[in-house]
Copies of this chain bind each other. A is one copy, B any other.
Amino acid sequence: MSDQNFADRLLEAIEHKRSHVVVGLDPDLALLPPSVKGEFWPERSEDASREEVAACYRRFLSRLIEGLHEDIVAVKPQIAYFEALGSPGYALYEDIVSLARSAGLLVIADVKRADIGSTAEAYAHAHLDLVGADAVTVNPYLGTDGVEPFAARARTGGKGVFVLVKTSNPSSGEIQDAHLAAGPTVYEHVADLVNAWGEGTAGRRGYRSVGAVVGGTYPGQGAELRRRMPGAPLLVPGYGAQGAKAADVARMFDAAGTGAVVNSARAILYAYRKREGDWLDAAIAETREMKLALWEATGRG
């Protein structure tokens, strides 16, 4: 049921699949397995058109989704890598969202959009209504106006929103860690806004459908944010290629071992670079290792 509360759907998927894993879909031609590229370009891929590259990405991502869908709760298409192919890439983004939903996966569109109210409404329509993602990431810098059209679809419509609170990148502290005169840091202030924006979006399990992005690369701040936003599902990027480990993200789960999902992209998509055998087998093995490590980190091994 796509109009069921998003937080409920997310928590049910975690329990059903015994997994907290989200796979980030960041297709990058330079990193694609040589065997996949070889099907399209037996010789060289340098002169490939955008349409050809999109077709190659489609084959790669559809096999990946087919191979991983039982072990993961969601995929997180990173739209920047689709926009980097222009309109054929945007069409592929639409296609991949449908394909993942048909495979029973939740789709968190990593779009990090935000704008003035009327424009935020156009973005919410584009990604949640038209493309049909289950949830999106949004940027809080414009305040309530930039988030409300997304939150409205979380209150009614079964959609989810993950607001950037503390991002995983090295320079995230420049603005987010600044201390306010009133006491908290900027990211703590944003966490308080997330609590306000989530009102009216709670599901049967107490979690709300307005959650937060909290980088796994900042475990201390993550643990603190888990306490500060008890009703917010957390989307935790930074696992794998960016360096976060299961022990780092363990404190972002609640006492019941749920309430957070963890994203890994390049370490799974391009696992063939570090593992023997077929690229898809390598991706599956990497995913299962992450799945187990997280399940054990929540004390449920």
Q: Is there an interface contact between A114 and B127, defined as CB atoms closer than 8 Å?
A: no
Q: Is there an interface contact between B83 and A126, defined as CB atoms closer than 8 Å?
A: yes
Q: Is there an interface contact between A142 and B171, defined as CB atoms closer than 8 Å?
A: yes
Chain B: minimal CB distance from A115 (Å): 6
Q: Looking across the interface, which residue of chain B has its beta carbon closest to that of A127? A: B83
Q: Is there an interface contact between A175 and B143, defined as CB atoms closer than 8 Å?
A: yes
**The one of B84, B125, B176, B189 that contacts A122, using a Cβ cutoff of 8 Å:** B84
Q: Is there an interface contact between B180 and A189, defined as CB atoms closer than 8 Å?
A: no
Residues of B near A193 (CB, < 8 A) are: 174-175
Given the known A-B contacts A117-B169, A119-B78, A122-B81, are A141 and B176 also in contact in the complex, defined by CB atoms under 8 Å?
yes
Q: Is there an interface contact between A145 and B170, defined as CB atoms closer than 8 Å?
A: yes
Residues of B near A80 (CB, < 8 A) are: 113, 115, 119-120, 122-123, 126
Q: Is there an interface contact between B180 and A130, defined as CB atoms closer than 8 Å?
A: no
A94 interface residue per 8 A CB criterion? yes
Residues of B near A91 (CB, < 8 A) are: 86-87, 90
Chain B: minimal CB distance from A230 (Å): 22
Residues of B near A131 (CB, < 8 A) are: 86
A172 interface residue per 8 A CB criterion? yes
Q: Is there an interface contact between B186 and A116, defined as CB atoms closer than 8 Å?
A: no
A4 to B18, CA, bound (A): 56
Q: Is there an interface contact between B123 and A139, defined as CB atoms closer than 8 Å?
A: no
Q: How many copies does the complex hold?
A: 2
A112 interface residue per 8 A CB criterion? yes
A113 to B186, CA, bound (A): 20
Q: Is there an interface contact between A126 and B169, defined as CB atoms closer than 8 Å?
A: no
Q: How many residues does chain A have at the interface if contact means C-beta atoms less than 8 Å apart?
A: 57
Q: Is there an interface contact between A179 and B182, defined as CB atoms closer than 8 Å?
A: yes
A146 interface residue per 8 A CB criterion? yes
Chain B: minimal CB distance from A216 (Å): 12
Residues of B near A112 (CB, < 8 A) are: 113-115, 139
Residues of B near A68 (CB, < 8 A) are: none
**Chain A 174-194 per-residue mask, 1 if CB under 8 angstroms from chain B, else 0:** 111011111000100110010
A174 to B139, CA, bound (A): 13
Q: Is there an interface contact between A116 and B189, defined as CB atoms closer than 8 Å?
A: no
Chain B: minimal CB distance from A189 (Å): 6
| Chain A interface residues (CB < 8 Å from chain B) | 26, 78, 80-81, 83-84, 86-87, 89-91, 94, 112-117, 119-120, 122-123, 125-127, 130-131, 139-146, 164, 167-176, 178-182, 186, 189-190, 193, 237, 242
Q: Which 6 A-B pairs have the closest CB atoms?
A: A143-B171, A143-B174, A87-B91, A80-B122, A83-B126, A90-B90
Additional A-B contact list (11), CB under 8 Å, known A87-B94, A116-B237, A145-B171:
A78-B115, A81-B119, A84-B125, A90-B91, A112-B114, A112-B139, A114-B139, A140-B141, A141-B167, A175-B193, A179-B182
